[in-house]
Structure 1
Amino acid sequence: MDVKTKQVSFDQLISELSTRLINSEPTETYECIEEVIAAIGDYTEADRCYVFEFDDHIKHMTNTHEWVRDGHQAHIDSLQAIETDDLPWFFKEMKENHVCIVNDVQTLPPEANAEKAEFDREDIKSVICIGMVANHKLLGFVGCDMVQKKRQWQPTDLRRLSLVADMIANTLERQRTYAELIHTQRELEKANRMLQAQVAQDGLTGIANRRAFDERITNEIQRASRHKTPLALLIIDIDQFKPYNDHYGHLQGDQALKSVADAMFDQLQRNTDFLARYGGEEFVAVISATDEQKTKDSIQQLLEAVQNLKIEHEQSQVAPYLSISIGGYLHTPTADENTEALISRMISKADSALYRAKSDGRNRGYLDN
């Protein structure tokens, strides 16, 4: 093959490889770079062809891709996280010139003793390395080794490997940009989830707040309507909480609210159960896919859970300990009911049941349906 024909063949190869890299998906990048260095290594008749990547500060380098001609030894496993002090002359050459060309390893200068020892270890007789630069930043380099015999590297070798280095550099930069974009996107999603959780969370008790309840009750009504299952709404009030706050102070009052919320939350552990702070010392619970007896059992469990806390309440006219009153409403929504009107009715019915529980002495719960 004459020089002109070989050049046309190389240009065609580069065009094909470039197209392959450009059209590759991020998940295919590694495989594509492997194909590129295998093709260029074979075409240039090198014994090895490889890619090293630098860290952001060019303090160490790692062999990330390697092609080895049949019959020669691979070294990628032993060329990981190489520090600047390990090969100082080579690092200096790459940082300053972005090129390192050695026609004969035995002619390396005295300051390259560490490099010569490494090249001898790998049986390298000649080596050429071309920096991969993207956006004015040195990302790493592409290199070729000769093991069987020395080689006088020609300007055409430099040109060809430079083209490959540019191709891979652009691909790596695109991959890094993509990875950074994905990372940023995930961080934003995480921040949005945390923000959404904060917006829907009561700052004092840690359970859901009124806003979250408004969204949840709508969803649960729609779900119950589709499945034709009953839905219970409970309104829960801490008995005589103002006297408690006045007597024990707001800090202890806040702690009592947290303790009551935790105790009730522990009782409502099904995926379909929901507890929120409705305002002040008032809470609301939504229990889906239930029935009258199960709802009454849930009310009793909530009453007992707060009683078992045994939070002393000297100012209570109900019991020596903090207690709650509960009013509930059980209903099976239908498709023809207006959701907003139904929510208002359920709250009104539960509130009426709560009023009766308070009127009858508190520390009890009633259910309407």
Structure 2
Amino acid sequence: MDVKAGQVSFDQLISELSTRLINSEPAETYECIEEVIAAIGNYTDADRCYVFEFDDNIQHMTNTHEWVRNGYQAHIDDLQSIALEELPWFFKEIKAHHKFIVNNVEQLPAEASAEKAEFDREEIKSVICVGLVANQRLLGFVGCDMVRKKREWQSADIRHLGLVADMVANTLERQRTYAELIRTQRELEKANRMLQAQVAQDGLTGIANRRAFDERITNEIQRASRHNTPLALLIIDIDQFKPYNDHYGHLQGDQALKSVADAMFDQLQRNTDFLARYGGEEFVAVISATDEQKTKESIQRLLDSVRTLNIAHDESEVAPYLSISIGGYIHTPDAEEDTESLISRMISKADSALYRAKSDGRNRGYLDN
């Protein structure tokens, strides 16, 4: 072959391969590298061309891409996670020189006995490997094997494979950077979700907090307005909780709050039902698409769920156990109503019903008209 013509041909090939890699999407990286090693394998008349990647500490290497000429055996499945101890001389050479060039496997030094045994197993007569280096870090190597016959590797072969190695190294580094960005993005999204959950969650009881309620009631009013359906708001207060706290202590008081929250939460199981801690020993519930009878039934279930806990309250003037009082209000929002004003009115009406429940002896629930 005319050297000058061959040079032009190779430069054209490199240009085409480089363009393909640069313009590829991250999802196409694997396919693009396969195309590159197939092209260089054919161009150099090698029998096998491949890419190996090292782990971060260069203690293991894995064959990640392989092209094999028709009629020759593939070995990619045999060459996964190879430890430094298995091929110590090869690891030493590639780490020190970023190159590994053997014209005749039979002439390997005695210290390369493990490497010779492996090459013999793969029927390799000559081999050339060039390191994949990006940001001064050795990522792996690209290599070519000769199985049919021995080969004296020329400086042009080393230069050509070096150019391919640079392209592949930059592609792998770009892919790793992309993968790291995706991982970081997912971690940030997860952290944001957790932060949002924490911001909207009461730290003691684990249910929604006042902030979450403010957002939810607005959304439910808008939904009820669109569908012309009733919406119920309940305000729930633990009866004589201060005497309970003073008598049993704050730790037991906190546990009582958790138990009450859990019991009520279990009674509001529809996706549209919502329970939040409003502050102190006070809770709020929002029940969508309900009516007066269903709301009264919900109130009764909430009352019974706390009674069933049978939490002793020796200081209570209401019952020998912890109990709750509930005030509620039902309304069908109108599209013309101001949402903020309606929320204030619903809270005021429910609070009035709660006051009446307390005045009538507590441990009960009323609906305001």
TM-score (norm 1): 0.99
Q: What is the DSSP-based 3-state SS (H/G/I as helix, E as strand, rest coil) of the residue aligned with 1:129?
A: strand
Structure 1 counterpart of 2:38? 38
Q: Structure 1: how far apart are the matches of 2:300 and 2:265?
A: 14
Q: Aligned AA for 2:11?
A: D
Q: What is the DSSP-based 3-state SS (H/G/I as helix, E as strand, rest coil) of the residue aligned with 1:157?
A: helix
Q: Structure 2: how far apart are the matches of 1:182 and 1:20?
A: 23
Of residues 120-129 and 178-187 in structure 1, the stretch that sits farther from structure 2 once superposed is: 178-187
Q: Structure 1: how far apart are the matches of 2:3 and 2:229?
A: 82
Q: Map 1:153-172 onto structure 2 (within 5 A).
A: 153-172=153-172
Structure 2 counterpart of 1:315? 315
Of residues 198-207 and 302-311 in structure 1, the stretch that sits farther from structure 2 once superposed is: 198-207
Structure 1 counterpart of 2:84? 84
Q: What is the DSSP-based 3-state SS (H/G/I as helix, E as strand, rest coil) of the residue aligned with 2:85?
A: coil
Structure 2 counterpart of 1:293? 293
Q: Map 1:170-249 onto structure 2 (within 5 A).
A: 170-249=170-249
Q: Structure 1: how far apart are the matches of 2:20 and 2:290?
A: 59
- RMSD, matched Cα: 0.8
Q: Deviation at 1:357?
A: 0.8
Q: Deviation at 1:368?
A: 2.5
Q: Structure 2: how far apart are the matches of 1:81 and 1:228?
A: 64
Structure 2 counterpart of 1:59? 59
Q: What is the DSSP-based 3-state SS (H/G/I as helix, E as strand, rest coil) of the residue aligned with 2:151?
A: coil
Structure 2 counterpart of 1:3? 3
Q: Structure 2: how far apart are the matches of 1:16 and 1:301?
A: 73
Structure 1 counterpart of 2:13? 13
Identity of aligned residues (%): 85
Q: Deviation at 1:229?
A: 1.5
Per-residue CA shift, 1:341-360, capped at 9, x if unaligned? 11100100100111111111
Q: Aligned AA for 1:50?
A: Y
TM-score (norm 2): 0.99
Q: Aligned AA for 1:154?
A: Q
Q: Deviation at 1:169?
A: 0.4
Per-residue CA shift, 1:111-170, capped at 9, x if unaligned? 100000000000000000000000000000000000010000011111111011000100
Q: Deviation at 1:335?
A: 1.3
Q: Map 1:67-146 onto structure 2 (within 5 A).
A: 67-146=67-146
Q: Map 1:254-265 onto structure 2 (within 5 A).
A: 254-265=254-265
Of residues 241-250 and 80-89 in structure 1, the stretch that sits farther from structure 2 once superposed is: 241-250
Q: What is the DSSP-based 3-state SS (H/G/I as helix, E as strand, rest coil) of the residue aligned with 2:112?
A: helix
Structure 1 counterpart of 2:47? 47
Q: Structure 1: how far apart are the matches of 2:226 and 2:175?
A: 46
Q: Deviation at 1:234?
A: 0.5
Q: Deviation at 1:15?
A: 0.8
Q: Deviation at 1:226?
A: 1.5
Aligned length: 369
Q: Aligned AA for 1:29?
A: T
Q: Structure 2: how far apart are the matches of 1:192 and 1:142?
A: 41
Structure 2, gaps ≥5 residues long: none
Q: Aligned AA for 1:74?
A: A
Of residues 141-150 and 313-322 in structure 1, the stretch that sits farther from structure 2 once superposed is: 313-322
Structure 2 counterpart of 1:367? 367
Q: Aligned AA for 2:222?
A: Q
Q: Structure 2: how far apart are the matches of 1:306 and 1:12?
A: 80
Structure 1 residue runs of 4+, over 2 Å off?
A: none
Q: Deviation at 1:48?
A: 0.2
Q: Deviation at 1:319?
A: 1.1
Q: Structure 1: how far apart are the matches of 2:188 and 2:364?
A: 46
Per-residue CA shift, 1:217-257, capped at 9, x if unaligned? 11111111122211111000001111111111111111100
Structure 1 counterpart of 2:22? 22
Q: Aligned AA for 1:155?
A: S
